[in-house]
Amino acid sequence: MTGDAVIKVEDLHTGFGDHLVHDGLNLEVRKGEVLGVVGGSGTGKSVLLHCIIGLKKPWSGCIEVLGQRVLDLEPPERSALEARWGVLFQDGALFSSLTVAQNIQVPLKEHLNLNQRLMDEIAMIKIGLVGLPPEAGRLYPAELSGGMRKRAGLARALALDPEILFLDEPTSGLDPIGAARFDALIERLRKTLDFTVFMVTHDLDSLNAICDRIAVLADKRVVVIGDMKQMLNERHPWVLEYFHGPRARSAGLLKPGR
Amino acid sequence: MADESTSTTTVNQSQPKPAWIKLNTGGMIELGGCWTIGAAERLDKELTVIHDGTSTKYIFNLSGLERLDTAGAWLIYRTRKSLESGDTEVVLEGVKPEYGILLDEVAANDQTPPPLPHANQLLEWVAHTGEMTLDALARARDFLGFFGLVLLTLSRSVSHPARLRIVPMIHHMEKVGLNALPIVGLISFLIGVVIAYQGASQMKQFGAEVFVVNLIAVSILREIGILLAAIVIAGRSASAFTAQIGAMKVNEEIDAMRTLGLDPIEVLVLPRLLALVLAMPLLAFFADMIGLLGGGLMTWIVLDIRPDQFIERLSDAVSLWSFWIGIIKAPFFAVIIALVGCYEGFQVGGSAESVGHMTSRSVVESIFLVIVADAIFSIFFQLAGV
């Protein structure tokens, strides 16, 4: 079910000032999978995401996305590559001066030359796909609830039918019901649109529900990567605490009596 | 298609064919290549050709498709829908299961947003004007309420002087007063120079060069010194007050303050208000002096009036009242600027955009109110005969 690596990170070193965040980090994301990246606060999950999408320059290392080394790309090639992925930031990061429909059309306008009718129609489908009501297209981000903002942000990330979707804590700030719905939405969209997901998360429920594999960031690198079964058998102290703690128990990861 | 798996596993190297449409006789239409968003504009145009056909039944064969995304699926769905609405039968053939899901998903989300209520333009304009007026009145009332609240808090603080926050006040005096000296000085100096120069060229025509000193003294001392200082401070400090308080509001710091038993008016507004009330007369005095210096320098250069003659003429030309009229206005303008700046800061709601919006509003409003107040003062002084 899984093919080649769509994202390949090799020997990555990053840091701020004299503080080292990643020390020789390696990671591979396979085509078509949902990879969840977990780790304690400050272990550099978001920094890793920012490095891969080119918002932060690492000190050294190699990052390959869809077969291209993102660090050595010229601006036009970069822009072409950016059109092949979509990013959902934590709180949606919608442009507050534009309506939801206009937000979705920003990448369409930037990368393609479409007529306005077609752009309106595409924006409308995306609004429907992420489960927003049709009236939402005319609303401004300030008029939306947190959950709706995330959905609208997802619609913008999906505007160009990306091959990779990056999600930065997609369920944080949502109530459990909203979070479960969002998980289901990602799962359904993946079946329909067939993309790879790189997801930074803290949410044990979403890890369990939609992730094919989980990568654990600790000690400045990926200490273990694998499916949930592997996680539960892992002996690394942080992994042990995370997947066997009281929250893991309540998320139903652990069978009673184990 | 057999090569489907190879074309997707070699993510980058594969060169999929561009999208194509082939019209065969008898309403047979073959679609192939990559029906993705990049080709959508072209396909949108090419698909219109089908509508010109006369066939009553169309068969779309999709087995040639190498890739399909939402945009491509939408185009196929839309074409089918518009043909079917014209009593033409449409059949899709060779649909791969994964494309079937996408086509169904697109069909499910074909929802035109409800049309905007379209009203009479003139009526809308009138309604808008009415709304704006009511809004302005409501804000004026609200602002007066804020003024009252600040006065009340001030009176409470004055009766318990220990509650006055001296250190923040000194800090704000440095920021709004001391740090504004260079820009206020520069502007006043240049305006003094300009008045002297323009005055001189006019007065020369009547041989009344010496009255340039009167012109400079009266205009700068009575009006221009304080007005320039007030406008610069409105631009510099009203905006800063709004942005500082607004950012704290967005960050919920104001709410946190309230829950900790701190009064935001006492903590945030009073130090700024008192700092500005104390600093403004000093700034006005500074602007007066530098303006006179600029004017004096220019009259010396253009009209050859020496500094000692200028000063002598100055004491004849203006009474001490002219000077005081300028300085008296300073604390009033300071109150206007500080109150508007702080008030608009508290009006910030929710987003970062609102901080910017309120900041520009506070500058415009404070300058406007300062000039209105100046006009009222000039009428008042006229009636009072000074």
**What digits encode the pLDDT tens for the residues B172-214?**
999 999 999 999 999 999 999 999 999 998 888 888 888 889 8
Chain B environment of A193 (Cβ under 8 Å)? 69-70, 102
CA distance B362 to B341: 5
d(CA A205, CA A177): 11
H-run or E-run covering B310: helix B307-317
Whether residue A65 lies inside any domain: the answer is yes
Same domain as A74, residue A198: yes
- A-chain CB neighbours of B70 within 8 Å are 122, 125-126, 129, 158, 161, 193
Domain membership flag for residue A258: no
B109, A193: Cβ pair inside 8 Å? no
Q: Give the tens place of pLDDT for each residue, B273-321.
A: 999 999 999 999 999 999 999 999 999 998 888 999 889 888 888 888 8
Of A67, A114, A161, the CB nearest to B36: A161
Residue A255: inside a domain: no
Helix (H, G, I), strand (E, B) or coil at A44: coil
Statement: residue A146 has pLDDT above 80: yes
Does the beta carbon of A90 lie under 8 angstroms from any beta carbon of chain B? Answer: no
Same domain, A20 and A79: yes
The pLDDT of A53-81, averaged and rounded, is 86
Our measurement of the distance from residue A231's CA atom to the centroid of its chain's CA atoms, rounded to an integer in Å, reads 20
Please indicate if any CB of chain B lies within 8 Å of the CB of A142.
yes
What is the residue-averaged pLDDT of chain A? 85
Task: Compare all CA atoms of chain A with the CA of B102 and give the residue at the minimum distance.
Answer: A192
Residue A169 lies in a domain: yes
Q: What is the DSSP letter of A98?
A: S
Alpha carbon distance A234, B40 (integer Å): 48
pLDDT greater at residue B322 or residue B4? B322
A37-51 mean pLDDT:
86
Number of domains composing chain A: 2
CB A115, CB A170: distance < 8 Å? no
* Contact at CB, B12 and A67, closer than 8 angstroms: yes
Residue B166 CB burial class (10 angstroms; 0-12, 13-18, ≥19) = exposed
Identify whether residues A148 and A169 lie together within a single domain. Answer: no
Burial of B382 (0-12, 13-18, 19+ CB in 10 A): exposed
Contacts 24+ apart (CB under 8 A), B151-158: B153/B263, B153/B265, B153/B266, B153/B269, B153/B270, B154/B270, B154/B273, B157/B266, B157/B270
Q: Is it the case that residue A81 has pLDDT exceeding 60? A: yes
**What pLDDT sits at residue A130?**
86
List CB contacts (< 8 A) between B105 and chain A: 129, 192
Q: What number is the ipTM of this complex?
A: 0.79
Residue span(s) of chain B under CATH 3.30.750.24 come to: 4-108
CA atoms within 13 A on the CB side of B210: 9
**Per-residue pLDDT for B14 more than 70?**
no
Same domain, A10 and A32: yes
A172, A194: one domain? yes
Q: Is the pLDDT of residue B366 over 90?
A: yes
Nearest to A161 among B12, B71, B112 (CB): B71
- Pick B351's closest partner by Cβ from A96, A161, A191: A96
* B interface test, pick of A79, A192, A193, A195 with most B CB neighbours within 10 Å: A192
Q: Indicate if A35 and A147 belong to the same structural domain.
A: no
Is residue A75 located within the same domain as residue A170? yes
* CB burial readout B6-33, b (16+ within 10 A) else e: ebbeebeeeeeeebebeeeeebebbbbb
Domain-ending residue, one of A161, A182, A199: A161
Chain B residues in contact with A142 by the CB 8 A cut-off are: 350-351, 353
Query: Which chain B residues have any C-beta within 8 angstroms of a chain A C-beta?
Result: 8-13, 36-38, 40-41, 44, 69-71, 74, 78, 98, 101-102, 105-106, 108-114, 116, 350-353
Coil, strand, or helix at residue B245?
A: helix
Spatial separation of the C-alpha atoms in residues B266 and B150, rounded to whole Å? 8
Distance CA B233, CA B35 (A): 60
Please give the order of strands across the beta sheet that includes A221-226: A85-88, A164-168, A196-200, A34-39, A213-218, A221-226
The boundaries of the domain holding residue A127 are: 97-161
Total H helices, total E strands in chain B: 16, 4
CA B356 vs CA A77, A96, B136, B375: distances in Å: 35, 12, 19, 29
Tell me if chain B has a CB within 8 Å of the CB of A115.
yes
- The maximal CA–CA distance of chain B, rounded, in angstroms, is 106
A97/B353 touch (CB, cutoff 8 Å), yes or no: yes
Q: Mean pLDDT of all residues in chain B? A: 87
Encode pLDDT of A83-124 as tens digits.
Answer: 888 999 888 888 888 899 999 999 888 888 888 888 888 899
Instruction: Choose among B278, B338, B279: nearest CA to B146.
Output: B338
Domain co-membership, A108 together with A220: no
Is residue B372 classed as helix, strand or coil in its secondary structure? Answer: helix
| B65-95 pLDDT per residue, tens | 888 888 888 888 888 888 888 777 888 888 8
- Cβ-defined contact of B102 to A192 (cutoff 8 Å): yes
Instruction: Return the DSSP state at A74.
Output: -
CA angle B10, A79, A27 (to 5 degrees): 50
Q: Are A201 and A74 in a shared domain? A: yes
Spatial neighbors of A236 by CB under 8 A, at least 6 apart, are: A216, A218, A223, A224
For residue B11, the Cα-to-chain-centroid distance in whole angstroms is 46
CATH (residue range B4-108): 3.30.750.24
Question: CATH no. for residue A14?
Answer: 3.40.50.300
Q: In what order do the strands lie in the sheet with A60-65?
A: A19-30, A5-16, A60-65, A68-69
Looking at the structure, tell me whether residues A152 and A168 fall in a common domain: no
Q: Which of A66, A79, A91, A121 to mutate to test the interface with B (most CBs of B within 10 A)?
A: A121
The answer on A168 and A156 residing in a single domain is no
- Position A251 in a domain: no
Q: Which residues contact A224 (CB under 8 A, 6 or more apart)?
A: A215, A216, A230, A231, A234, A236, A239
Does residue A105 share a domain with residue A77? no
